[in-house]
């Protein structure tokens, strides 16, 4: 590979753009528009007003309706909708959140938890004639949604639900849209009828009149300034015996008859609750994607800066040295670029799976649950990556990185809450691990072969990318790895995959063993708590493995040889970085000899050396066009030191 060229950039970008590549390309045209970027000089009120205006502009792009069902005037293309909106993360994360709340969370709740009688709301919310918010979290309960305190008590006399906040902790909190713009809230509350509590259900509650005043019994307030996302009007809501019609229950999974009789096709209350939550998986999928997009912007800025910024003379040449020619700088940035590649492929794969499930093309009974696990895991991986990568980019750009005009601090501030919202990362990692523990005895891995075949039959070739073939590739690699992994070449994909899988399997198996052994002695909580770090490690190992698999599959689909070779080296760097981060574990559990661990460390250095000349090509492949970067230091002649 003598020279990189534009074609390699295009090929890499096409690969990372994934199944909804055309939508991304079209979005890049839409987003070449100053009106869609954030203005950090605005105060909170002005920033919120601007974002609302921006959302009205976005509503003309045809992205909003894409994700809704045909019968609601939508495009039945949830994958396309998530992908299109994700592109807003390149311009302004406040705008992305605002749109995500309106069409994803609020819209998703009404469409997926509601029935025909709520159809009119869907039509209105798509066009922004109805602005809504998603009122799940309370001040007292965020992660533990099952224990929400807000009540919705059915009154058969008037055929109404009475929505009420019985304690200060029952206050809805952090709700995007609740502070200013939302007219209606999708409120999660404990449904009570006939004196009996039926668990958490979702209700449509009007909260403001046309003039924006709180309706009777509703008290909204403002969360005020946050670490970032100034354009999102997060607020609080208290309900004082607010009456809503019986029909405002979103009644897809359960209903209350006029006389107060409760009925649900799902008899098990816990299953009903998780079915309800499961329909909201799109939010979690979206958050991971947007976080990763934010990291791509930051890495594009930091790498390009390191390609023009010089500091300290090279004593051999007397010339000042480019930042990116320093080993330490390469090691700071290039492994993060590699992880961005890995996660982009993993996210595309996730969106594809979500699309299949939500359009009814994947009807495998385990598909929804597998999707939820994967969405949780990739939400964790991508938001954690964003926090780490953007922070590293900020620091790698020195004082310039701290100036708002260079955008990195805004990206950091805006994405910071992504590790928390739509599921706290620790709680989600635990959820992933619990799924593993439950399933590990009859583990067949969630290959979902049936689903993939169906997928292949119904989608265009571009979307499919021989995915079934690729799945076979992973299986083939796994089969091969049975022979001689122990002393196998670390550069071999089968050996790499095996190491990742070994770590996951070992951690899961031993965690399960530990839980069983201890539970008898100490009670379940103590047993769980003593093993919590172990359990979390198992979850993380699983996430690493599925990301690697998606990366390998993504590379196999690249036809251009030069681009594929480069992506292969990037994959190696991702693998070596993960192995290096976990080398103590691998050595301590005899999966890696000390000599091999030393080879990993050398390998990282060799790989950053090898990739360094291609750094600009690689960030080009990340797919953030230069006109989107908007960092002053990338064009300021004063920033180059002479």
Q: Under rule CB under 8 A, which residues in 571-630 are in contact with a second copy?
A: 583-584, 587-588, 594, 597-598, 605
For residue 641, the minimal CB distance to a second copy (Å) is: 4
Nearest partner of 56 among 132, 107, 135, 129, judged by Cα = 129
Query: Per DSSP, what are the bridge partners of residue 185?
Result: 133, 205
**Cβ 388 to a second copy, closest distance in Å?**
9
Q: Is 244 in a helix, a strand, or coil?
A: strand
Q: Map the footprint of a second copy across residues 531-550, applying CB under 8 A.
A: 532-533, 536
**Residue whose pair of structure tokens reads 């480019």 in the numeric block:** 322
**Of residues 164-183, those binding a second copy (CB under 8 A):** 167-169, 171, 173-174
Of the residues 111, 160, 422, 504, only one is catalytic, namely: 422
Smallest gap from residue 541 Cβ to a second copy (A): 16
Closest approach, Cβ 441 to a second copy, in A, equals: 22
Residue among 137, 220, 286, 368 that touches a second copy (CB under 8 A): 137
Minimum separation from the CB atom of position 44 to a second copy (A):
8
The CB-of-529 to a second copy minimum distance in angstroms stands at: 5
**Interacting residue with a second copy among 60, 197, 213, 328 (CB under 8 A):** 328
Residue with tokens 């990195």: 408
315 is a site residue for a second copy (CB under 8 A) = yes
Residue 254 CA: distances (Å) to CA of 43, 203, 244, 507? 44, 12, 17, 39
Binding region for a second copy (CB under 8 A) out of 133-141, 208-216, 345-353, 559-567? 133-141
Residues 393-452 that bind a second copy (CB under 8 A): 394-395, 398-399, 401-405, 408-409, 412-413, 416-417, 419-421, 424-426
Phi, psi at residue 400, to the nearest 5°?
-60, -35
Note whether 39 binds a second copy by CB under 8 A: no
Q: Are 127 and 59 in contact (CB under 8 A)?
A: yes
The dihedral sign for the CA sequence 153, 155, 159, 160: negative
Query: How far is Cα 615 from Cα 333, in angstroms, rounded to an integer?
Result: 10
- How many residues sit in the footprint of a second copy (CB under 8 A)? 85
Q: How far is the CB of 602 from a second copy (least distance, A)?
A: 11
Cβ-Cβ contacts under 8 Å for 218 (sequence gap 6 or more): 205, 207, 208, 237, 238, 239, 240, 242
Interface with a second copy, residue 457, by CB under 8 A: no
Count Cβ neighbours within 10 Å for each residue of 602-638 and write b for 16 or more, e otherwise: ebbeebbeebbebbebbbbbbbbeeebbbbebbeeee
Residue 422 designated active-site:
yes
Applying the rule CB under 8 A, the residues between 72 and 111 that interact with a second copy are: none
Residue 135's beta-bridge partner residues?
A: 187
d(CA 44, CA 93): 15
Torsion sign over Cα 316, 320, 324, 327: positive
Interaction between residue 199 and a second copy (CB under 8 A) = no
Nearer to a second copy (CB atom), residue 18 or residue 100? 100
Token pair, residue 233, equals: 């009007």
| Neighbouring residues of 588: CB distance < 8 A, sequence distance ≥ 6 | none
Site for a second copy contains 638 (CB under 8 A)? yes
Piece of the chain touching a second copy by CB under 8 A; list 76-84, 306-314, 447-455, 508-516: 306-314
393 vs 304: CA distance, rounded Å? 11
- The answer to the question of residue 144 lying near a second copy (CB under 8 A) is yes
Nearer to a second copy, 476 or 598 (CB): 598
The reply on whether position 326 binds a second copy by CB under 8 A is yes
Q: Which of residues 42-71 bind a second copy (CB under 8 A)?
A: 43
Beta strand 160-164 pairing with 151-155 = antiparallel
* The binder of a second copy chosen from 6, 157, 224, 461 (CB under 8 A): 224
Q: Would you say 60 or 167 has its CB closer to a second copy? A: 167
Of residues 376 through 395, those in contact with a second copy by CB under 8 A are 387, 391, 394-395
Query: SS3 for 374?
Result: helix
**Contact (CB, 8 A) for 565 and 1:** yes
Whose Cβ is closer to a second copy: residue 87's or residue 537's?
Answer: 537
Site for a second copy in 506-525 (CB under 8 A): 523-525
Q: How far is the CB of 560 from a second copy (least distance, A)?
A: 32
**How far, in Å, CA of 180 to CA of 221, rounded?**
9
Q: Which residues are catalytic?
A: 422
């Amino acid at each position: 590979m003598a020279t990189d060229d534009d074609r390699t950039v295009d090929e890499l970008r096409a690969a990372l753009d994934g199944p909804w590549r055309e939508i991304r390309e079209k979005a890049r045209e839409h987003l070449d528009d100053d009106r869609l970027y954030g203005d950090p000089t605005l105060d909170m009120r002005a920033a919120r007003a601007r974002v609302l205006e921006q959302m009205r502009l976005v509503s003309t792009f045809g992205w909003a309706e894409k994700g809704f069902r045909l019968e609601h005037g939508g495009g039945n293309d949830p994958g396309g909708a998530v992908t299109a909106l994700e592109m807003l993360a390149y311009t302004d994360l406040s705008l992305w959140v605002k749109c995500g709340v309106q069409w994803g969370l609020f819209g998703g709740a009404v469409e997926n938890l509601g029935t025909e009688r709520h159809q009119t709301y869907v039509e209105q919310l798509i066009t922004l004639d109805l602005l809504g918010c998603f009122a799940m979290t309370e001040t007292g309960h965020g992660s533990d949604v099952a224990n929400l305190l807000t009540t919705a008590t059915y009154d058969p006399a008037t055929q109404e639900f009475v929505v009420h906040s019985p304690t200060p902790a029952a206050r809805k909190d952090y709700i995007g849209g609740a502070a200013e713009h939302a007219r209606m809230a999708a409120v999660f509350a404990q449904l009570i009828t006939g004196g009996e509590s039926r668990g958490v259900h979702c209700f449509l509650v009007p909260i403001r009149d046309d003039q924006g005043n709180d309706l009777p019994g509703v008290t909204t307030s403002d969360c005020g300034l946050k670490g970032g996302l100034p354009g999102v009007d997060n607020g609080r809501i208290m309900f004082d015996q607010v009456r809503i019609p019986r029909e405002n229950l979103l009644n897809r999974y359960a209903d209350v008859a006029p006389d107060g009789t409760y009925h649900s096709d799902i008899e098990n209350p816990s299953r009903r609750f998780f079915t309800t939550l499961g329909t909201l998986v799109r939010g979690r999928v979206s958050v991971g994607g947007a976080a990763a997009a934010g990291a791509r912007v930051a890495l594009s800025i930091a790498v390009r800066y390191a390609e023009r910024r010089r500091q300290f003379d090279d004593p051999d040449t007397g010339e000042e040295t480019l930042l990116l020619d320093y080993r330490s700088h390469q090691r700071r940035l290039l492994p993060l670029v590699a992880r961005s590649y890995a996660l982009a492929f993993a996210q595309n794969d996730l969106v594809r799976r979500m699309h299949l499930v939500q359009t009814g093309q994947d009807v495998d009974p385990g598909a929804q649950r597998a999707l939820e696990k994967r969405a949780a895991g990739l939400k964790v991986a991508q938001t954690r990556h964003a926090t780490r990568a953007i922070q590293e980019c900020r620091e790698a750009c020195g004082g310039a990185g701290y100036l708002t005009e260079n955008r990195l601090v805004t990206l950091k501030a805006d994405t910071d809450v992504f590790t928390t919202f739509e599921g706290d990362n620790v709680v989600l990692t635990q959820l992933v691990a619990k799924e593993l523990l439950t399933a590990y005895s009859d583990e067949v891995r969630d290959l979902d072969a049936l689903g993939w075949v169906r997928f292949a039959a119904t989608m265009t070739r571009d979307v499919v990318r021989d995915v079934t073939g690729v799945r076979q590739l992973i299986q083939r690699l796994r089969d091969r790895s049975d022979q001689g992994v122990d002393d196998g070449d670390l550069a071999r994909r089968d050996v790499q995959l095996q190491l990742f899988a070994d770590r996951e399997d070992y951690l899961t198996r031993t965690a399960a063993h530990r839980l069983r052994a201890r539970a008898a002695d100490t009670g379940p909580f103590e047993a769980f708590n003593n093993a919590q770090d172990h359990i979390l490690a198992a979850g993380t190992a699983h996430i690493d493995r599925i990301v690697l698999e998606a990366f390998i599959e993504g590379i196999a689909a690249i036809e251009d040889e030069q681009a594929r070779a480069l992506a292969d080296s990037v994959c190696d760097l991702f693998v070596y970085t993960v192995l290096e981060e976990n080398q103590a574990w691998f050595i301590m559990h005899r999966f890696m000899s000390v000599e091999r661990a030393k080879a990993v460390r050398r390998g990282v250095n060799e790989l950053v050396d090898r990739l360094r000349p291609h750094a600009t090509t690689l960030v080009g492949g990340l797919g953030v066009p230069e006109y989107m970067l908007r960092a002053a230091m990338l064009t300021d002649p004063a920033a180059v030191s002479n």
